[in-house]
Amino acid sequence: MGHDYLFHDKKSGKTTVNAAVLLYWAFIQEPPNEILILASDLEQAQSRVFRSAEQIIQHNPQLKAESDPQSRIIYLANGTRVTAISNDFRGAAGSNHGFLSYDELWSYVSESSMRLFEELTPIPTRRNSLRFITTYSGFEQESELLTDLYEKVVIEGERIHDTLPIYFNRRARLFAYWDTGVEARRMPWQLGREGEAYYDSQRRTLRPAQFQRLHLNQWVTPGVEMRFNGQSISPTPIRETPNEIQIIICNHRGIFIIFSFDQSSAVFPCA
């Protein structure tokens, strides 16, 4: 039993990673199994991870021969079912899931979505029962569920790799990869002239706080926008955490696998 989180920035392939891990679990782990894809609403659950899983199957003849994708359920020959479900904590109660897939957990801000997350905990009677979450950073004082997980893993947990931002909280059974900053841009389309042109365009069209959140995987304060020397600026969160954790948090987009607690204040960038 456990919780894995991958935090990365926008367009870094995190949803595809989620779908790939999900299918590995569906085809290999304890069949017949119950795999659930969740999001803040049914449309999102179907259009992101679910559709990515369908596309992976369609491009792999071996997987295609062993599966039958329907509108919101993928049936596998081994008896496992992959189901995209809506944000309904009452309807989700009583499942015997071995794998839970969450995408963009920062958008889980309603009481109903928080109850859904709490209702679907890993199953103790299964040998392997896992939550797998992919997301980028949320909003301070708004994305409370994601903030709580981040605190438990990144802040309260232990960094277990010298060069990669990987964290583990053994007591909470939380494992996370939290990647932020420009250094996290590793995909081919994020690099070179095309990547530079894309991020320059995004920097010019997005509000600074949104650029920080989407493309640097940094936490921001919602609804705060000011002008300085004729330019629009947003407050930059500053985390008062140990130096080793500060370095890890100051990356680019997030991979959801572990979280931790932080105290933050805001300063206005003048450069």
Q: How far is CA 222 from CA 54, 93, 128, 216, in A?
A: 35, 33, 38, 16
Identify any residues that bridge with 73 across adjacent strands, giving them in sequence order.
Answer: 83
The 10s digit of each residue's pLDDT in 96-129 is 899 999 888 888 888 888 888 888 888 888 888 8
Q: What is the number of alpha carbons within 13 Å of residue 247 lying toward its C-beta?
A: 9
Amino acid symbol at 45: A
The 10s digit of each residue's pLDDT in 172-231 is 888 888 888 787 777 777 888 888 898 889 889 888 888 888 888 887 876 554 333 344
Query: Is domain 1-262 annotated with CATH 3.40.50.300?
Result: yes
Model confidence at 157: pLDDT above 70: yes
Label residues 41-53 b or e (16+ Cβ within 10 Å = b).
ebebbbebbbbbb
Is 0.85 topped by the overall pTM?
Answer: no
Residue 141, sorted as left (phi over 0), alpha (psi -120 to 50) or beta, turns out to be left
Asked if 64 and 55 touch (Cβ cutoff 8 Å), the reply is no
Contacts of 18 (CB under 8 A, 6+ apart): 6, 49, 52, 101, 103, 132, 134
**3-state SS assignment for residue 201:** helix
Q: How far is CA 233 from CA 204, 216, 270, in A?
A: 12, 16, 8
Residue 65, sorted as left (phi over 0), alpha (psi -120 to 50) or beta, turns out to be alpha
Asked if 99 and 36 touch (Cβ cutoff 8 Å), the reply is yes
Predicted local distance difference test score (pLDDT) of residue 45:
64
- Mean pLDDT across 149-173: 90
Domain positions in the chain = 1-262
If one compares 270 and 237, the residue with the highest pLDDT of the two is 237
